[in-house]
Amino acid sequence: MAEALSPRGTIEIVSVTKRFGDTVAVDSINLKIPAGSYCCLLGPSGCGKTTTLRMIAGHERVSEGDVIFGNQNVTDLPPTRRGTAMMFQSYALFPHLDCTENVAFSLKMRGAKKEERVKRARELLDMVDMEPYARRLPSQLSGGQQQRVALARALITNPDVLLLDEPLSALDPFLRTRMRAELKRLQKELGISFVHVTHSQEEAMALADLVVIMNEGRIEQAGPARTVFNRPRTPFVARFIGGHNVLSGIVEGRTDDAVVLKGANGVRFLVDAETVRQGDRVSFSVRCDRVAVAREGTGAASHPYDNFNRVRGVMRSVEYQGSWVRLGMESPDSDDFVMAVNEAAYFADPIAVGERVNASWGAGEAHILADQ
Specify the residue, 85 or 351, whose C-beta has the smaller distance to other proteins: 85
- Other Cβ atoms less than 10 A from the Cβ of 300: the count is 16
Taking contact as CB under 8 A, which single stretch among the options 31-39, 100-108, 328-336, 347-355 is the one that binds other proteins?
A: 100-108
Give yes or no for residue 79 binding other proteins (CB under 8 A): yes
Give yes or no for residue 342 binding other proteins (CB under 8 A): no
Selected binder of other proteins within 6, 106, 145, 227 (CB under 8 A): 106
Q: How many chain residues are in contact with other proteins, going by CB under 8 A?
A: 22
Helices and strands, counts by H and E, the chain: 11, 20
Give yes or no for residue 96 binding other proteins (CB under 8 A): yes
DSSP 284-297: EEEEGGG-EEEETT
How far is residue 166's CA from residue 197's CA, in Å, rounded to a whole number?
A: 5
Among 171, 166, 127, CA closest to 146: 171
Please state the three-class secondary structure of 31-100 as a single string.
EEECCCCEEEEECCCCCCHHHHHHHHHCCCCCCEEEEEECCEECCCCCHHHHCEEEECCCCCCCCCCCHH
Give yes or no for residue 105 binding other proteins (CB under 8 A): yes
Give yes or no for residue 94 binding other proteins (CB under 8 A): yes
Specify the residue, 58 or 232, whose C-beta has the smaller distance to other proteins: 58
Specify the residue, 95 or 354, whose C-beta has the smaller distance to other proteins: 95
Give yes or no for residue 110 binding other proteins (CB under 8 A): yes
Cβ pair 186, 44 in contact under 8 A:
no
Give yes or no for residue 86 binding other proteins (CB under 8 A): yes
Q: From the CB of 107, what's the least distance to other proteins, in Å?
A: 9
Q: From the CB of 171, what's the least distance to other proteins, in Å?
A: 17
Give yes or no for residue 157 binding other proteins (CB under 8 A): yes
Among 282, 263, 227, CA closest to 360: 263
Beta strand residue intervals within 149-295, DSSP E: 161-165, 193-198, 210-215, 218-223, 244-254, 258-262, 268-272, 281-287, 292-295
Burial of 208 (0-12, 13-18, 19+ CB in 10 A): buried
What strand order describes the sheet that includes 281-287?
268-272, 258-262, 244-254, 281-287, 366-369
Mask for 14-53, x = binds other proteins (CB under 8 A): ----------------------------------------
Specify the residue, 108 or 136, whose C-beta has the smaller distance to other proteins: 108
Give yes or no for residue 143 binding other proteins (CB under 8 A): no
Q: From the CB of 183, what's the least distance to other proteins, in Å?
A: 18
Give yes or no for residue 248 binding other proteins (CB under 8 A): no
Specify the residue, 145 or 177, whose C-beta has the smaller distance to other proteins: 145
Selected binder of other proteins within 68, 77, 92, 300 (CB under 8 A): 92
Which spans of this chain sit near other proteins (rule: CB under 8 A)?
57, 59, 78-80, 85-86, 88-90, 92-96, 105-106, 108-110, 153, 157
